[in-house]
Structure 1
Amino acid sequence: MSEGMKVSLCLIAKNEQHCILSCIESVKHLVHEVVVVDTGSSDDTVLLAQKAGARVFHIAWTGDFAQARNFGLEQAAGDWILVLDADEVLAPGSTEEFHQLLNDAEVEGYFLTIINFLGNGQEFTTDKVVRLFRNKPSYRFTGAIHEQVAPSILKATGGKGLVSAPVVIHHYGYLDAELAEKDKFSRNTSIIYRELAKNPGDPFLLYSLALEHFQRGQVAEGVRCLEWALSQMKGSEGYFEDVLVHTAIGLWGLENLQRLLDFLNNSLSMLPEQGDLLLIRGMTFLTLKQYAEAAGDLVHAFKTGSSKLFPQYKILCLAGDAFSLSGDFIKAEENYLSALRMNTRFLYPLLQLIGLIQRGHLLLDCDRLARFCPLKNKDSLWRDLLSGGGTLLALIVLLLEIYHLAVDPDQEFLLWQLSGELVSLVEKLDSLPARKPVHEYISVASREIHAYALIIDKGYQGRYFCALDKMKDLVIRLLLMFMRECCPQWRWTPRNRHLFVQWKGDMNDKKSYGGKSCQAKKSNPERISRVTGEIG
């Protein structure tokens, strides 16, 4: 631990016996004390915290999260405060790097990355929230719900002193089981309505209420709250962009595309480089079959690099779809290949490229396609596809790996081994979804590829018999055979419209939109599904 700077972990808890020990255990090597504020537990939360070495204090729950947080800060003796919830754990990281953060005299607090696990735990989102800051009396939380400490720090420092740190927190409070057990919707909305009674028309409270409605699938009510909030805002609020983006998402959920388009045009006239607004407008144009406009907005959204709704590779996929549907297949290919290189485990763009080749819109350019990822990545990819039942796609990736080896003079020695696996795999196939002569050709061709690999391995190829060129030509023929005769037809369908929002329970990709003067809240409405191909 740092000799000069001491850290106090501060958390509030109520009936958290199932998770509080994991929380404390994750930070005990970094902090000098643990301060737990219990707001009325009826289980073993207090006993477990005390056994873990925590100092436990009690406070009656008044429905004000900031009050409970600040009570805990008043008990803390450390130079720095680390704030966690009981259902969070600090991800493993460098102890030395953590303590280096405490010694930066220019910094008053750090935005940490929070990974929120959702649903059954297979999905997650990320936020940036100030959770590590100096222990000073003027640094206090505000807000009965979605409480924040950043505004008080910025006020005290004249808008300075907050930066991001490479520290990650894992949050499990948005799992379906947790949400159902604690009925967070009822708890949160009751607090918001109480505060609205004191401050009618408060845009931040209306924004918070909208997010709660979105989580419950009450989209129209959420949009009404957001539009009311916008009517009360000046545009300089740190969460102004949050409200615009969430309003757009809500209008998308209501499927009123013309109203959505008008809203987006007005919003982008104020914020022309707002990546998520550009993305949503691109998706809207895509749905309206205005493909050239969609491609322009999606490319623009990608270039801003600021979208929080989709990762960059998915935006490239959508741009590829827009170009493909507009008939610009060359640009579609460029975007799909770029997306594939950015995330080689996400195979939607590969399937779309196969579809374009199947329909004759593109020629098979093996030199480009075979290099969509490093050799070792392709090797693990086709094996994983095979074990998962994706035999045809596994064979295509395997052939691309063989071609890649054939054009890489430093890797030719692996050709014989890998081509042998191709022969073995083809022989184990009971049947392929193709005519019998096609199946027989594939079997013979795979053995011929293996024979060429043996000739190359033994050093027998020469000036008048280039086995390497013959192998590459045969691999190309076999790839085309698989794509055109064996694989289903891959094409874009209107199903892509559902890539964006599914109003169901909690969100699937909750992001932080907060500006420097106001953090994002813990609830965003969007549920973004994974981009998937559909067999036509």
Structure 2
Amino acid sequence: MTKISACVITKNEATCISRCLQSVRDIADEMIVVDTGSTDDTVNIAEQLGAKVFHYQWCNDFAAARNYALDQAKGDWIIFLDADEYIAADKIKNVRLVIDKIHGDRRIEAARCLMINLEGVGGSLRSSNPSLRIFRNSQVIRYKGSVHESIYKRGKPVKTINVNNQLIVIYHTGYTKEIVIEKIRRNTVLLEEELRKGIVRESTYYYLSDGYWRNGEHEKAIDFAQKAINHLDRMNNALVYKPYVILISSMTNLKTYSEKTVTAICDEALEKFPHHPEIWLLQGLYYLSVGRYEKSLTSLLKAIETNACYNDFNRNNDFYALSPQAYFNIGQIYEMKNQLAQALDYYAKALQQEKSNQLAFIGLISLIRKQDPADVVFFLNTLYNIDDESDIRFLVENLSRLKVKKVLDYYHQILRSGAVN
């Protein structure tokens, strides 16, 4: 029977390392943890769960740390997870089934499966992407890149199959807004250092554009997004559409580019990626920014439509995290058109995706505040959980600000009575 080594590199991951290791413990013949300097209880937790823990001096190089873990592994196949990732419990049995099925075919060196990114543990869906986390253990298969590291065989991409139909699902819980910003800034510094050394990998320009974009440095983001577009044929296929997202978004934010220029980029992006919801969304947001409301509405609705049937396993899809913005803006446009039932519907959809979306809440309350207070309460209770203190506090704070007194009194009473859990 094929042997499996589960590998993780860690630093101060006490809050999540147990979940990660427990997710693979039943199918792994060994668990390798390479710790890069934890000062919390990470090492003790890993050892208690039966992992072999090795210590590695961090040198600002993720590939080097991962390759050190591979040097310790004795299995025929590797499962390499980040500490804030875990394999879904109802899917873990499929890992060995997949590995046993492909083990005898030497043409297959790795398996790419679905990763679902969550806003923290048990949080909302942020995005999904194909992820290469399973590959043969071989001396010639190693990671390259100090950051956004990838697996190569003798310097060339490994031969990979896709594990479709959600046969294996990896959950990633490290997508809280604070953690993401911190990681992106760290990664951008490492990429800049690589660039100064003349190291340009297939997705270097994209990742730099992404880092500057998320940090609000839109001119730099545009510069590197355009460089990435000029090298699309070299890019990781999962991300190949993304430079257009960054380019359109950054130009929209700067407001210094002509409509002709931006719409030409939108057209080029949609010609290449007509079925990707993020492109339609960014086009809709651009049209909204220049007052082209009907065009904006058409594009935003198209974004939702394409997302509903999107099934391209080979590319990322970050639309889920952006959907509240799409729903809210559609609601606003319908309200401007005096189509109030449609506006109410889309404000509610925005809140179903993101209950703390204040703009959507304001829009919704503006449409229903004159209705019977009992009806307003009934409607709000379909969106919010009266047993959840954070939900009740959100309602009290915002209804107080909006001066919806009788409805506010109802939720205030719940809060004062301590009825929430």
- The two structures share one fold, judged by TM-score above 0.5: yes
Cross-structure match for 1:223: 222
Partners of 1:172 and 1:122 lie apart in 2 by 10
Deviations 1:49-95 (Å, cap 9, x if unpaired)? 33432223344434321232123223222343222223444454355
| Residues 338, 62 of structure 1: alpha-carbon distance in 2 compared, 3 angstrom cutoff | closer
Contact 2:4 2:78 in 1 (8 A): yes
Q: CA deviation at 1:319?
A: 4.0
Q: TM-score, normalised by structure 2?
A: 0.68
Q: Greater CA deviation, 229-238 or 248-257? A: 229-238
| Residues 353, 37 of structure 1: alpha-carbon distance in 2 compared, 3 angstrom cutoff | closer
Cross-structure match for 1:67: 64
Q: CA deviation at 1:35?
A: 0.7
Structure-to-structure mapping, 1:23-42, within 5 angstroms = 23-41=20-38
Structure with larger Rg: 1
Contact 2:202 2:235 in 1 (8 A): no
Partners of 2:100 and 2:83 lie apart in 1 by 27
| Residues 143, 46 of structure 1: alpha-carbon distance in 2 compared, 3 angstrom cutoff | same
Partners of 1:35 and 1:432 lie apart in 2 by 55
3-state SS of paired residue (1:140): strand
Q: CA deviation at 1:179?
A: 7.2
- The answer to whether residue 323 in structure 2 is matched with residue 309 in structure 1 is no
Partners of 1:153 and 1:300 lie apart in 2 by 41
Q: CA deviation at 1:241?
A: 0.8
| Residues 125, 275 of structure 1: alpha-carbon distance in 2 compared, 3 angstrom cutoff | closer
| Match among 265, 287, 290 for residue 289 of structure 2 | 287
Give the partner amino acid of 1:191.
Answer: L
CA RMSD, 1 decimal:
4.7
Partners of 1:122 and 1:312 lie apart in 2 by 15
| Residues 31, 123 of structure 1: alpha-carbon distance in 2 compared, 3 angstrom cutoff | same
Cross-structure match for 1:247: 247
Cross-structure match for 2:208: 209
Q: CA deviation at 1:277?
A: 1.7
Cross-structure match for 1:374: none
Q: CA deviation at 1:301?
A: 2.3
Contact 1:109 1:133 in 2 (8 A): yes
Q: TM-score, normalised by structure 1?
A: 0.55
Give the partner amino acid of 1:80.
Answer: W
| Residues 206, 96 of structure 1: alpha-carbon distance in 2 compared, 3 angstrom cutoff | closer
* Structure with more relative contact order (C-alpha pairs < 8 Å, separation 6 or more): 1
| Residues 386, 20 of structure 1: alpha-carbon distance in 2 compared, 3 angstrom cutoff | closer
Q: CA deviation at 1:351?
A: 6.3
Q: CA deviation at 1:358?
A: 7.9
Q: CA deviation at 1:191?
A: 2.5
Give the partner amino acid of 1:309.
Answer: F
3-state SS of paired residue (2:149): coil
Deviations 1:12-70 (Å, cap 9, x if unpaired)? 12344555344334432332211122334566644553343222334443432123212
Contact 1:138 1:156 in 2 (8 A): no
| Residues 221, 103 of structure 1: alpha-carbon distance in 2 compared, 3 angstrom cutoff | same
Partners of 1:154 and 1:15 lie apart in 2 by 33
Structure-to-structure mapping, 1:56-455, within 5 angstroms = 56-105=53-102, 108-117=110-119, 125-128=126-129, 129-137=131-139, 139-149=141-151, 155-157=157-159, 160-164=160-164, 165=166, 166-172=168-174, 176=178, 184=183, 187-199=186-198, 204-234=203-233, 238=237, 239-256=239-256, 258=259, 260-305=262-307, 306=310, 308-310=318-320, 315=326, 318-319=329-330, 321-326=332-337, 329=339, 333=341, 337=345, 355=367, 381=382, 384=385, 388=392
3-state SS of paired residue (2:223): helix
Contact 1:340 1:350 in 2 (8 A): no
Q: CA deviation at 1:296?
A: 2.2
Contact 1:275 1:304 in 2 (8 A): yes
3-state SS of paired residue (1:29): coil
Deviations 1:286-344 (Å, cap 9, x if unpaired)? 232222212222233233224633466864554454455356x3xx7568658968986
Contact 2:245 2:279 in 1 (8 A): yes
Contact 1:202 1:232 in 2 (8 A): no
Q: Which runs of 5+ in 1 are unaligned?
A: 360-369, 371-376, 395-428, 434-536
Deviations 1:484-520 (Å, cap 9, x if unpaired)? xxxxxxxxxxxxxxxxxxxxxxxxxxxxxxxxxxxxx
Contact 1:88 1:173 in 2 (8 A): no
Contact 2:84 2:174 in 1 (8 A): yes
Contact 1:112 1:132 in 2 (8 A): no
Give the partner amino acid of 2:208.
Answer: L
Partners of 2:40 and 2:361 lie apart in 1 by 50
Q: CA deviation at 1:109?
A: 1.0
Q: Which runs of 5+ in 2 are unaligned?
A: 311-316, 409-421
What percent identity do the matched residue pairs reach? 23
Aligned pairs, how many?
Answer: 370
Partners of 1:282 and 1:54 lie apart in 2 by 49
Partners of 1:145 and 1:383 lie apart in 2 by 40
| Residues 155, 188 of structure 1: alpha-carbon distance in 2 compared, 3 angstrom cutoff | closer
